[in-house]
Amino acid sequence: MQNNSVTVISRKYDLSVRRIWKCRLIERRDPLLVFVGEFDQAVEHADLGLIEKDTVSYEYYWLDRWYNVFRFHTPSGEFRNFYCNINMPPKFEDGVLHYIDLDIDVIAWPDGRVVTLDEAEFRSNAAQFHYPETVQTKAWSALAELSKLIRLREFPFQTMMRGRLQTFSIPE
């Protein structure tokens, strides 16, 4: 893996590609991988509003958990928000991280607001794509676990208040 460059591939349950992007691996402490990326263009997102070009994304993937967490910072370094996906545990090999996104997303804002998105889409896709009962159960459990981490401000959610970029140690 040259320069710690990583390709992330987010797929739907039917394995079709949702998104592909590049980032860098900045820390690996199995089962946790931490990547950093930068938006190479501005993006207008229905739920997040305008994400400016050069917004920095710290991405937390656990190889044994059913969610991931993105911590966004503005180009000037100010904490913007968290964006979390409920997904099947990712696979990481040969500089490529693959995961299956299970539709449900959670946004945590600096003022403490937390918004859960796309639960109806999850239910619809679970029926359409025949998600096994175990997948559905694990997805709902992951949402509950993630919600608890946010509420208790546990790693990586310690930086919920507005402020400049800070460095955080990953707990042992």
Say if residue 158 is exposed, middle or buried (CB neighbours under 10 Å; 0-12, 13-18, 19+). Answer: exposed
- Does the residue 163 lie in any domain? no
- Does the residue 161 lie in any domain? no
The predicted-structure confidence for 79-99, as pLDDT tens digits, reads as follows 999 999 999 999 999 999 999
Q: Confidence band (pLDDT; 50, 70, 90) for 45?
A: confident
Cβ-proximal residues to 125 (8 Å cutoff; 6+ apart), any chain: 12, 13, 102, 103, 131
- Does the residue 168 lie in any domain? no
Match 């679970």 to its residue by tokens: 126
61 has which bridge partners? 33, 68
Q: For the chain, what percentages of helix, strand and coil (3-state, to nearest 5) are there? A: 20, 45, 35
- Does the residue 119 lie in any domain? yes
172 has which bridge partners? none
- Sequential DSSP letters for 127-154: HHTT--HHHHHHHHHHHHHHHHHHHHT-
What is residue 3's predicted lDDT score, i.e. its pLDDT? Answer: 67
- Does the residue 171 lie in any domain? no
Q: Confidence band (pLDDT; 50, 70, 90) for 161?
A: low
- Does the residue 112 lie in any domain? yes
- Does the residue 160 lie in any domain? no
The predicted-structure confidence for 99-146, as pLDDT tens digits, reads as follows 999 999 999 999 888 999 999 999 999 999 999 999 999 999 999 999
What is residue 111's predicted lDDT score, i.e. its pLDDT? Answer: 86
Number of domains present in the structure of the chain:
1
Average pLDDT, the chain: 90
- Does the residue 167 lie in any domain? no
Q: 36, 30 in Cβ contact below 8 A?
A: no
Higher pLDDT, residue 47 or 94 = 94
Separation between Cα atoms, residue 88 and residue 105, nearest integer Å: 13
For position 70, which CATH number holds? 2.40.380.10
Domain containing 17 equals 2-152
